[in-house]
Each structure stands twice: as C-alpha cells, then as structure tokens.
C-alpha cells in the first residue's frame, strides 16, 4: 500500500508540474 501511495504522489507531482509548465507557456504566448 505504501509503495502504491508513493507512486500515486509521484505521478500527481509530475502531472501538476506538466500542467504548470503548460499554463506558463500559454500565458507567455497570450502576453505577446
């Protein structure tokens, strides 16, 4: 169970990081 939770947490961290980068690029593109 612990291993599964740690994997889940890692996945969510990576996911949030991807979304943050994605939103940053979108905002940068909108700023022109």
Q: Where are the domains of the chain?
A: 1-32
| Beta carbons within 10 angstroms of residue 25's beta carbon | 10
So what's the pLDDT on residue 24?
92
- pTM, two decimals, is 0.51
Q: Classify the C-alpha dihedral 10-14-20-23 as positive or negative.
A: negative
HEC letters along 2-30? HHHHHHHHHHHHHHHHHHHHHHHHHHHHH
**Is the predicted pLDDT of residue 10 greater than 90, yes or no?**
no
R_g of the chain computed on alpha carbons? 14
pLDDT tens digits, one per residue of 16-31: 899 999 999 999 998 7
């Amino acid at each position: 169970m612990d291993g599964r939770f740690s994997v889940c947490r890692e996945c969510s961290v990576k996911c949030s990081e991807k979304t943050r980068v994605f939103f940053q690029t979108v905002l940068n593109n909108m700023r022109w």
